[in-house]
Amino acid sequence: MVREIVRIGGVETMVEIPGLGDPDARRIIAILAAIPKLERAGNLAPVYLLEEMARQYIERGGTVQSWRAYETTLGVPQSKTRQPKSLFQPSLRWANGGKLDTTGRLAKLAAPLDEWMELGDKRPSPITSEPGTSEFAEWLDESHGYTNVAERRRDENYSESECAYTAATRHDRQRANQAAGHRLPRLREAEAAPTPMALHLDLNRKLRCPATGCNGARNVATWRSRSANQAAANVSHNPSN
């Protein structure tokens, strides 16, 4: 570990950082570590950091490939499964000691650099003799700071995702309605036709005898005949009637 003094806007602080042999990398790490400490120069510290990273991007070749090659020399971890959405967030995370970005601060710092990259040939120059006075710094000031850029980009990405989700949901609903429309006539036919169970219940209701539980018209006649014979027998056993 080595100690570095960071001076921004007439304010200075001392930070401890890894003793790397690359002075540019040490400067980025030192400024990033000093941002929380430089409260009176809090608005300038992020500008200095982003300006320095943009300058190094240009001086290291000014291409995505050259920047990633530079990260490799520094030991910045590279994802083997997929490329990160932000070109600069891996190096910021590395400069922050590899800690998880639980507060989202590194993502917000990377957002203006990503937007600056998207400007292509219209990118404002970060090269300057006095930190914080470059065209890049002026562009960032006109954009109302790095946090505003990050929030705007987040809202734009959210709106695009929401539109995609809404379109997908609408498509699924239309397919469901079409399928339901095709099934409706068959459903009505099925409802109109009596089920085998209904037929069975109707037959039982029509053919079941009221007393003996026998089935069929023949059984009904037999039940009536037996009832008449029983009544005659009762009369013969009671002569007084």
Question: Residue 174 — very low, low, confident or very high, per pLDDT cuts 50/70/90?
Answer: low
Distance, CA of 84 to CA of 68 (rounded, Å): 12
Place of tokens 């120069």: 41
Question: Residue 213 — very low, low, confident or very high, per pLDDT cuts 50/70/90?
Answer: very low
Distance, CA of 80 to CA of 152 (rounded, Å): 30
Name the percent of the chain lying above pLDDT 90.
28
Identify the CA nearest to 147 among candidates 115, 123, 117: 115
Question: Residue 40 — very low, low, confident or very high, per pLDDT cuts 50/70/90?
Answer: low
Question: Residue 163 — very low, low, confident or very high, per pLDDT cuts 50/70/90?
Answer: very low
Where along the chain do its domains lie? Answer: 2-154, 196-233
Q: What single string gives the DSSP state of each residue in the chain?
A: -EEEEEEETTEEEEEEE---S-HHHHHHHHHHHHTTT-STTTTHHHHHHHHHHHHHHHHTTSSHHHHHHHHHHHT----SSS--S-SSHHHHHHHTTT---TTSHHHHHHHHHHHHHHTGGGPPP---SSTT-SHHHHHHHHTT-HHHHHHHHHHHHHHHHHHHHHHHHHHHHHHHHHHHHHHHHHHHHHHHSPPHHHHHHHHHHHHB-SSS--BSHHHHHHHHHHHHHHHHHHHHT-TT-
Distance, CA of 98 to CA of 18 (rounded, Å): 12
> Average pLDDT, whole number, for the chain?
74
Please say if the pLDDT value at position 167 is more than 80. no
Please say if the pLDDT value at position 158 is more than 70. no
The pLDDT value given to residue 3: 84
What is the pTM (predicted TM-score) of this model? 0.60
Please say if the pLDDT value at position 188 is more than 80. no
